[in-house]
Amino acid sequence: MKTIIGEVKGIFSEYGYKKDRNSFWKIENDFYKLINFQHGAYGDYLFVNVGLHPVGLPSLYTGKLEIKEKPKEHECIIRQRMEQIVPIPSLEKALTFPAHENIVQDIIFNFPKVETWLKEWGSWENIANTHFDDIEKIISVVPIIQKKAYFMLKYYCMIKLGRRSEAEKFLNAYSEENSTMDFTLVDCFLNNLLSEI
């Protein structure tokens, strides 16, 4: 896997990504964008994971407020595998090593499409205009709080766009969704954001 990461590093650098272990990351338009190369415990498979997370958006945890400075890919609210964004046969075959001989070229060739996907989803306006059905498969939380996370994300987007009345609507929807779990610290943080616009 280190060989693959070394060979694709150039394309990620061209797009402004910095390397950190098995990941590449950058901040663009107030969103963290991450690409993570994941292998099995015994090095027997490879996945290329893509993560996107708004800067300053809290994680949806009970009993605590956590806002990651630089989240890891698995901590991002929006996640996909590279081959789910762009069909890449060699990545589908790379679930077991040895990896397909064209995997490096396929990643390099298809990365601009992944970057386009990240630009589309890494936009306050685009997320603000999306519906739950459009985003539910890429929101990375446990199913029981998926709608709550969706409403939190929409609320945060409306705050960033300065749309107070729409933000209030999504804050109310967030508060009503799964109200039996205790998200008090996250709730307080989100309520305080409303006073900023």
pLDDT tens per residue, range 71-121: 999 999 999 999 999 987 767 665 555 555 678 888 999 999 999 999 999
Which residues does residue 180 pair with via DSSP β-bridges, in sequence order?
none
Q: Please state the rounded mean pLDDT for residues 152-169.
A: 97
The pTM of the full predicted model, rounded to 2 decimals, is 0.91
d(CA 181, CA 60): 11
Both tokens of 57, joined, read 């958006």
Both tokens of 7, joined, read 């060979």
Question: Environment class of residue 6 by beta-carbon count within 10 Å: exposed (0-12), middle (13-18) or buried (19+)?
Answer: exposed
Q: Please state the rounded mean pLDDT for residues 25-29.
A: 98
Which residues does residue 35 pair with via DSSP β-bridges, in sequence order?
24, 50
- For residue 80, CA distances in Å to 5, 35, 131 come to 19, 10, 18
Name the residue ranges covered by the structural domains of the chain. 2-125, 126-194
pLDDT tens per residue, range 177-193: 988 899 999 999 999 99
Q: Please state the rounded mean pLDDT for residues 137-154.
A: 96
Q: Please state the rounded mean pLDDT for residues 150-170.
A: 97
